[in-house]
Amino acid sequence: MRWFCALAASLWLSACAVQEASPPTDPLLYDARALAQADSVVIGIPGAMTSIRVLRPIDELETRDRAVAYFRLPGFDGRPADESIVLDRAAARIARLVQTHDLKRIDLIGHSTGAVIALEAAKDIRAASPDVEVHVIGISTALPAPQPVLAGLRGAAGTAAAAARARSLNPRKVWLEYYRRLAYGPDVDMRPETVEAADALVAANDERIQLPENGLYRRHTRDLRRWTNPDPEALAGADISFYHGAVDPVFPPRPTQRFVDTLPDARATFINGHGHLILLTYPQVWDHIASTLTQASSD
């Protein structure tokens, strides 16, 4: 049962302040030539235990004047697995990109833990480059402490329920069953159309779904658990939008709305019937994001 306790504590899918012995690799991935001629950049930042692949629709936002970049997490997309997510360090790296390339605008699109990195990067950019236009779009955003710990408790309960539904203690079977709950909320089995959609989602992503192993999940999430959103006033002047599942079992709507209300110039849209994985279950979110960027560009 030891594996089950470890799995239950970590199956809520959202970002560790372990200092590596050697300097960390550069997490940013971008076309240097495209960035050199652009005056703005869109940066995609995935959530914990997630590849940049889930954010690839961002590629469609590239233009001659707007470059696209991605922030790679440890263990994914060629970045070493023995490194950790350190929120301040991640934010500072993104802020340096803005200064190095003399950009006029940056759009930060983050999922879950990636949204937290985006917010912290926005603070750094506003402080160091106040003339740069900053936009943050958070998708299924993670929340400040104590919510990450509470999310872990919710995940433990959800994993126990998933094991019961799967009638198995096989880690992968339990994880795939819990994945259905992540996608469509705790009532995923209440409606035939939701059951069908959840089954199709798992079947389509089975080979890409990874179990949290070898301490990687801990290295992704440790720093998040003690994040308190320090100095939210530093976000003044940044435009902030959130898209969130209305049945998100990881970070529920009520604490999410309370968090959004603490931020200057922030607003949230809740998507009915969807959970923590709206990037996959509600692809229309990309139409909303493209519209938001287009509208902001014309203002």
Measured CA to CA, the distance from residue 273 to residue 186 in angstroms comes to 10
What does the pLDDT look like over 129-150, one tens digit per residue? Answer: 999 999 999 999 999 999 999 9
The structure tokens listed for 18 are 């372990």
The CB-based long-range contact list for 192-196 (8 Å cut-off, 24+ gap) reads 194/273
Confidence band of 166 (pLDDT split at 50, 70, 90): confident
Q: Which residue has the tokens 């209440």?
A: 190
Average pLDDT over residues 266-273: 97
Query: Percentage of the chain with pLDDT > 90?
Result: 71
What does the pLDDT look like over 217-265, one tens digit per residue? Answer: 899 999 999 999 999 999 999 999 999 999 999 999 999 999 999 999 8
Q: Which residue has the tokens 């239950």?
A: 8
Measured CA to CA, the distance from residue 120 to residue 136 in angstroms comes to 10
Measured CA to CA, the distance from residue 78 to residue 85 in angstroms comes to 15
What does the pLDDT look like over 76-98, one tens digit per residue? Answer: 999 999 999 999 999 999 999 99
Indicate if the pLDDT at residue 266 is higher than 90: yes
Summary mean pLDDT of the chain: 89
Measured CA to CA, the distance from residue 167 to residue 181 in angstroms comes to 16
How many other β-carbons are positioned within 10 Å of the β-carbon of residue 214?
11
Return the pLDDT at 297.
Answer: 61
